[in-house]
Amino acid sequence: MKVTLLSTLLLTTIAGTTFAQQQPQFTHYGFNGMYLNPAYAGIKGQGEITAIGRYQYYNYGATFDQGGEPKTYMLTGSFPVQVLGGGIGFHVYRDEIAQFEMTNAQISYSKHIAVGEGKLGIGIQGVYNYLAKGEYRFIDENDSSIPRDGSDSKFDAGVGVWYESPTLYAGLSVNNLLRSEYAFQSVTGGNSARYIGENHSYFTVGYNIEASSSVVITPSALVKMVMPGKFGDDGKFTFKNNSYEANVRATFNDKFWGGVGYRYDESFTGMAGLALAKDNALRIGYAFDFIAFNQDARALGSHEIMLSYRLAKPNLNGRPAIRTPRYSF
């Protein structure tokens, strides 16, 4: 069966040498645990709200109608809830790649268990995916696998574990457990154009090193795994289906940070940011990816902006203030 030139270019743009980009990637993954793992919800002991905008392969000069640069917009929230013995969280993102658009919403719950100096979170999540396909140009006029301006939506689920201590964090998660199949109207009529929501797994780890009283060095790593086929199939975990990242970041007085990283077979990355407001609650970050490998269907750079706000930690031991007119003057 022939496939369209557009489909070939699109798949190359999305995936490169791996399949791990069916879901969006972020250079700020060290600040974005709620996207990676439902067990992260509330694990920090304080609320966090994070927004990220990413233009991947910025200004990519694709020949088809809407260009080829992936654009992703995300909002996440993580909140401890004492009465639940853990935390709740959410994330919502919109991913746009040429004629393909995905809107994803997830809500998570994490049960926290004290382990040594830290906490172990065990999380579950409910997932809603909405996928839309636009108009595609074809080579083979009767190719029933080519979608034609359709959409479909499905519910799915995910699970994860996350350990957090003052020096170490590590998490492992799997989403799209149902591996739902989406159907779209094809150019020949009927819903014969198909799309599989693959199972994705994320493993991340980081370690905080106190280089001095004011400087913390944090090396971190992320492995993104897409697992084609049903559970139990041979060849599900193979090197080519994974994406690998490593990063080291230096933070000064919890107020300024900068870091460099490497994404296997794709790019070198850099980031910088600063914290503002009381207790450095408001954080602003910028990251840049220099595409150093496999440049044939990619532009040379990706840009990412992060805005995050950390809520004050709840005072569980203190008594509420008693306010009376006697002390008002």
* Per-residue H/E/C for the chain: CCCCHHHHHHHHHHHCCCCHHHCCCCCCHHHCHHHHCHHHCCCCCCCEEEEEEEECCCCCCCCCCCCCCCEEEEEEEEEEEHHHCEEEEEEEEEEEECCEEEEEEEEEEEEEEEECCEEEEEEEEEEEEEEEECECCCCCCCCCCCEECCEEEEEEEEEEEEEECCCEEEEEEEECCCCCEEEECECCCCCCEEEECCEEEEEEEEECEECCCCEEEEEEEEEEEEECCCCCCCCCCCHHHEEEEEEEEEEECCCEEEEEEEECCCEEEEEEEEEECHHHCEEEEEEEEEECCCCCCCCCEEEEEEEEEECCCCCCCCCCCCCCHHHCC
pLDDT of residue 40: 98
pLDDT of residue 194: 78
pLDDT exceeds 50 at position 326: no
pLDDT of residue 105: 97
More confident residue, 23 or 78: 78
pLDDT range class, residue 313, cuts 50, 70, 90: confident
For the segment 1-16, the average pLDDT, to the nearest whole number, is: 35
pLDDT exceeds 60 at position 66: no
pLDDT range class, residue 226, cuts 50, 70, 90: confident
CA 249 to CA 28: how far, in whole Å?
A: 11
CA 200 to CA 127: how far, in whole Å?
A: 13
Q: For the segment 34-62, what is each residue's pLDDT rounded down to a tens digit?
A: 999 999 999 999 999 999 999 887 666 65
More confident residue, 266 or 105: 105
More confident residue, 221 or 18: 221
pTM reported for the whole predicted model: 0.83
For the segment 197-218, the average pLDDT, to the nearest whole number, is: 93
Asked if 205 and 169 count as a contact pair (C-beta separation under 8 A), the reply is yes
CA 175 to CA 126: how far, in whole Å?
A: 9
pLDDT range class, residue 203, cuts 50, 70, 90: very high
More confident residue, 186 or 321: 186
What mean pLDDT value characterizes the chain?
83
pLDDT exceeds 70 at position 69: yes
